[in-house]
Structure 1
């Protein structure tokens, strides 16, 4: 079986430059992969299609950064955490969520899952990436 491969990383980052957050949808089972990968992790189908992600999500866990796990490019956000994120489209992954700190962690943890949304931000190296932030109450 011949598989037509394309540059997933390139297409994803070009989408971010256009203000679009892209994932890959499986036409066989409907599963949406984000971050995008070639094969469907549910049924194994290699023929997935590009779709725009809504950006709506739920935060299921909160882990504050420690000295060894903190990435320098996120320090500019001051208040952020790592957490398990579930997109409206179904994908679950670990990501960065803005607006969480030592001061509000306990209160927010008691309210999990929390509504969050995707935000495209520019990294220090001039490349855009996706982070999430808490929805307003």
Structure 2
């Protein structure tokens, strides 16, 4: 088996319009396609992250809660590479999105921080 790259990351949200606003208007991801599936009462929003990856944002009626702390067992977090962490932090502040204090990766000496989406999903900004 030869895995070539990550195809997409799927996220189920509790409030579709709020999460759509967050990922498109605040994080600036580009909408590739939006689909409403009436038989599931579900939206699927395909979002481009740069030119390599895609986030699939789903809505379902009454999805169960999941533990989402960065140190919890399971998928740890979703990290976005950025070239200028300071400008990204200023952008988050303009949109009243709080973030953790900036840390330095002890292995790479790169700066990073965590913040959360509207459902508490841990997101990371990692400076290139």
In the superposition, the TM-score normalised over structure 2's length comes to 0.26
In the superposition, the TM-score normalised over structure 1's length comes to 0.25
